[in-house]
Structure 1
């Protein structure tokens, strides 16, 4: 087996008021404070109530796990010092979407062009980057990965509540995000030239400002030598984020092996993928999903087993054990969306959901306490 591919993970987090649970528009202040206190760069997002973390290049899953834990700790402690709470959740469970957008020129342009659509993007995802040799290979790898996007989206489905109500979806974030004109599963690209012409059309139409603003669920990165998978909610826990990263890296490695052997990617129609994405967002890991190869509904867990079988030769023994262990844990608790619903069902209080999310965000850090500090000036 060739050396394991390097990878990196980006996670978006929601900042909320610890008393009300409503979005707290202090992303810029949190990012600046994290740089001063810890020397850690957090990114601000389009919506002012969010921050994003980025790992450095990782060579194995232990490195991914360690970096994600450390970044979550820094972001949460910095937010706490400013009177906020950091939550790993796909959408704000209570309150309306925070309509205040960032003050950076790029975000002002997005808000001006996309209007309320941009302002309502209070959603948090997880993006996994995996290194590939060159841009042409990246386009062809995306073709191989795209049939598995709906199944990947179920792994960290983590946004069942919005505006204090159960949406009926495991990933409401996926539904909100699908409104964006450049989001969703990408087309099947016949060649790198086809990819380039499609991107140019989207920019010309205004559906995207530039390559960075093309938000397909899998895409060649516009600024890194990677394939970027963007389909997932931010994972409730670090362990679930690591599971997602393992599966994505396995898919990219399997795709690269297939390309070396001259295997074509299955040209699943985009409309089939969109239907499968909707069903996956509704049911999550505990329900039914559309098998894009057969056109039949199957238990999502069965499709996940097929995904593991598809990539197992390119995971490595340790990574395969980790994947199987983490999937067994999801079998036991149902994942982020199911845990939120269980927390709410006990007493019908959204405050219990928020407490669960705060604990899950930093799970594995036994020394952590999350008592809100007095806001600083």
Structure 2
């Protein structure tokens, strides 16, 4: 059977020479109209949308080119492009993009929206239908915390160490329909919960379903949204390949997926957001506490057959080892901050 295709959305931050968020996204996007690059909620954010890809190498090539061309466009507008998940300098409230939907979000959610200048990475994987997407969501829930730990890249926020490897995740979970999704009994169960949110006014549309996994509202994919924007393209490619393998494993299983103790999942998330890869985590399936690196190894064992099918096992293993030896974005940012080094230089995407 043909392996499912994948695609990635990367949100990136525009800053000035001083590192403050730079509200020039409209001009930057206009400079690269031939690319699939979109405006985001705040005027200091831009979003790359990769083409549909069949291989990791194809995805790497697209993201490398798109990051570089967008970085040049940012430089042409007097800015710099950062692969970082929260603003390292400046002030919390940011300027909202002048689109009716974003203006409505700001009107209804106030400071929550204006402080939401945070950058994530969303991985789309093709699925046969919505029913398969719902089953995959249930199957992926135990592994969401370790995906967050792997990609954590937001410890420094507004000139201070937050004490968390992923401050972005804590900020995004303040929205009414965010964080880990519920366990879904069926497509009808999912649809009923979304309809409840819409009817109650906690959402203005289905695009506001910000759960860390969701069936796409407009594509035949499942979308995994848990991750910070990784510091490097290679880290994004590893993340996307692991997510692809998780979805393949879930679809192959065919069952509705494991029902988890919600408080164990909540604790696992909190540990992942605070400590990233450097502390203890939880195997959500067993509630066993062990080093997060060991949880990561269990994840890789879980998807090993799918990675072999994709001919990507060696690539993923090499990528994970690089992250463990050099540190992910959170580790490298915190090290630079402690040593007084320049965070902008560390996280800047080069043209």
Pairwise TM-score range, normalised by the shorter structure: over 0.9
Partner of 1:337: 330
TM-score (norm 1): 0.91
Q: CA deviation at 1:304?
A: 0.6
Q: CA deviation at 1:287?
A: 1.5
Mapped to 2, the partners of 1:189 and 1:201 lie a distance apart of: 14
Q: Deviations over 1:58-77 (max 9, x none)?
A: 00100110011011011100
Q: Deviations over 1:240-274 (max 9, x none)?
A: 00010011000000001001xxx341111333322
Structure 1 vs Structure 2 CA RMSD: 1.2
Mapped to 2, the partners of 1:270 and 1:195 lie a distance apart of: 17
After TM superposition, the structure 1 stretch with the greater mean CA deviation from structure 2, 231-240 or 88-97, is 88-97
Partner of 1:311: 303
Partner of 2:50: 55
What 5-or-longer segments of structure 2 have no aligned partner?
A: none
Partner of 1:372: none
Q: Does 1:301 align with 2:293?
A: yes
Pairs aligned (count): 350
What 5-or-longer segments of structure 1 have no aligned partner?
A: 363-367, 369-377
Mapped to 2, the partners of 1:67 and 1:268 lie a distance apart of: 37
Q: How does 1:216-365 map to 2 (within 5 A)?
A: 216-259=211-254, 263-316=255-308, 318-346=311-339, 348-349=340-341, 352-358=342-348, 361-362=349-350
Given candidates 127, 131, 142, the residue that maps to 1:132 is: 127
Q: Deviations over 1:136-178 (max 9, x none)?
A: 2111111111111001111110011001011111111011111
Q: Does 1:185 align with 2:185?
A: no
Q: SS at 1:315's partner residue?
A: helix
Contact 2:92–2:115 under 8 Å retained in 1 = yes
Q: Does 1:103 align with 2:98?
A: yes
TM-score (norm 2): 0.97
Q: CA deviation at 1:98?
A: 4.2
Mapped to 2, the partners of 1:264 and 1:357 lie a distance apart of: 40
Contact 1:25–1:98 under 8 Å retained in 2 = no
Structure 1 outlier segments of 4+, above 4 Å: none
Q: CA deviation at 1:203?
A: 1.0
